[in-house]
Amino acid sequence: MSPSSPTIDVSVVILFDGPRMLVNRRPEGSYFGGWWEWPGGKREGDESALQCARRELREEIGYDAPGLREYAVREVDYPGRRVRLTFFVGRKPDGAAASPGALEHRWMPPEDVRSLQFLEPNLPVLEQIIAHPPFARI
């Protein structure tokens, strides 16, 4: 990676519904297509990390989650790029339903997410959640 390579800012949403978390599958043909991840994506223009997280969750799944809070920040290197991941946690809004065009997604206990082909930079945060859940297990 070149020292002049810009850092790409990405927001990630870890949404809970009781003891289960939301994961979605990256579309085939995209970067890491077919892998599982939490909803999220690149910041656009002047939007904040939180604004990006809320936009990405709406675009990918169709949820509006106003109660998100920052949970962790990690910087990772990919071939030719450095990515700053800002993770937010929140709860599924009561009565929320995924939009008809939502990405393929599942609600799973955090421990079960380990069985998926899950994006590697997210694994330390997943392990942190398993060890110290951000919300009481209901």
Q: Which residues pair with 15 in a beta bridge?
A: 90
Secondary structure of 100-128 in HEC code, one letter for each residue: CCCCCEEEECHHHHCCCCECHHHHHHHHH
Q: What residue ranges do the domains of the chain occupy?
A: 7-95+104-131
Of 3.40.50.2300, 3.50.50.60, 3.90.79.10, 3.30.360.10, which CATH number belongs to 7-95+104-131?
A: 3.90.79.10
Report d(CA 123, CA 23) in Å as an integer.
13
Report d(CA 40, CA 65) in Å as an integer.
13
State pLDDT tens for residues 11-40: 999 999 999 999 999 888 877 889 999 999
pTM: 0.90
State pLDDT tens for residues 86-130: 999 999 988 888 998 888 999 999 999 999 999 888 999 999 999
Residue 137: which pLDDT band, with cuts at 50, 70 and 90?
A: very low
Residues 10-49: b if buried by 16+ CB within 10 A, e if exposed: bbbbbbbeeebbbbbbbeeeeeeeeebbbbbbebeeeeeb
Backbone angles phi and psi of 101, in degrees to 5: -95, 15
